């Protein structure tokens, strides 16, 4: 398996522009997670899906952030309008539920810079 | 309020010696703990885990110890190798509660000096 695929790997945009980050989870995994990594806050969970349904979006910082999972093999995280403080590395991860705990497999991340 | 804390942002160790990375947590409902390793420009990768029913789990050079009463876990790497230089994240979850979210610490950057 190719692992979790994220695109783009790098994104530079200007404040006010719309940004769309994409993720393809590992085939067969039924959980998908979006994380954001910053120096100040470390790795923080934004939202996660189970079987394409959003389960918990309490980590989404503002209404400017939205995430969708139209099918089992694709998810998007959208920021509109983007602001400089959104600059961070955004990771997507997928997981297969298993008894006794779970392990998430991360994509390589999208490094976002909002000018 | 951080529920998972890694109080050492960085650690330097000589090659061949033991590396000990520490992690503290505050949520007594956490019952599953993991360590992830992250190289620059890559996503975190799973390294080793431990369930709260155990106090030790070993995998090759990596051993994780869990002290539930102290709400503390540690990762031991013996012997340390230059390729172990990376950022290590401690993570915890309440899998028994039906929630499969991982709460991460901020990470510890390990540098293994040849």
Q: State the nearest Cα–Cα gap between B80 and chain A, in angstroms.
A: 24
Could you read off the pLDDT of A39-70 as tens digits, one per residue? 888 899 999 999 999 998 999 988 999 999 99
Q: State the nearest Cα–Cα gap between A61 and chain B, in angstroms.
A: 16
pLDDT at residue A96, rounded to an integer = 84
Rounded CA separation A110/A114 (Å): 13
Measured CA to CA in angstroms, residue A95 lies from A28, A98, A100, B101 at distances of 9, 9, 13, 10
Could you read off the pLDDT of A65-83 as tens digits, one per residue? 999 999 999 999 999 999 9
Contact check, Cβ <8 Å, B43/A44? no
Rounded CA separation B65/B72 (Å): 8
Residues in B touching A48 (Cβ below 8 Å): 100-101
Residue A80: partners with Cβ closer than 8 Å, 6 or more residues away: A18, A19, A64, A66
Residues in A touching B32 (Cβ below 8 Å): 100-102
Pick from A110, A70, A104, A26: nearest CA to B46: A104
Measured CA to CA in angstroms, residue B104 lies from A16, A24, A37, A52, A72 at distances of 30, 22, 10, 23, 25
Mutation for B interface: A43, A88, A100, A102, most B CBs within 10 A: A43
pLDDT at residue B99, rounded to an integer = 61
* Angle value at C-alpha A98, between A95 and A101, nearest 5 degrees: 85
Prior bond of B79 cis (ω within 30°)? yes
Residue B60: partners with Cβ closer than 8 Å, 6 or more residues away: none
Across the A:B interface, residue pairs with CB atoms under 8 Å apart total 62
DSSP secondary-structure letter at B42?
Answer: S
* Nearest by CB: B43 against A45, A56, A108: A108
Could you read off the pLDDT of B51-110 as tens digits, one per residue? 999 999 999 999 999 999 999 999 999 999 999 999 999 999 887 655 668 899 999 999
Residues of A with CB under 8 A from a CB of B: 4, 31, 33, 35, 41-45, 48, 50, 56, 91, 93, 95, 97, 100-109
């Amino acid at each position: 398996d190719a692992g979790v695929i994220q695109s783009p790997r790098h994104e530079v945009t200007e404040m006010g522009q719309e940004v769309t980050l994409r993720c393809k989870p590992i085939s067969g995994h039924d959980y998908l997670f979006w994380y954001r990594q910053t120096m100040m806050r470390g790795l923080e969970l934004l939202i996660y899906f189970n079987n394409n349904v959003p389960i918990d979006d309490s980590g989404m910082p503002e209404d400017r952030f939205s995430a969708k999972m139209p099918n089992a093999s694709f998810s998007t995280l959208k920021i509109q309008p983007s602001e400089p403080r959104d600059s961070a590395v955004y990771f997507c991860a997928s997981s297969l539920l298993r008894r006794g705990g779970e392990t998430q497999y991360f994509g390589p991340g999208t490094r976002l810079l909002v000018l | 309020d951080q529920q998972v804390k890694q109080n050492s942002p960085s650690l330097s160790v000589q090659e061949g010696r033991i590396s000990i990375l520490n992690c503290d947590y505050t949520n007594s409902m956490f019952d599953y703990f993991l360590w992830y390793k992250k190289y620059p420009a890559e996503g975190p990768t799973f390294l080793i885990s431990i369930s709260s029913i155990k106090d030790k789990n070993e995998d090759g050079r990596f051993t994780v110890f869990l002290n539930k009463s102290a709400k503390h876990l540690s990762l031991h790497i013996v012997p340390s190798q230059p390729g172990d230089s990376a950022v290590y994240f401690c993570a915890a979850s309440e899998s028994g509660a039906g929630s499969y979210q991982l709460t991460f610490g901020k990470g510890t950057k390990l540098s293994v000096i040849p």
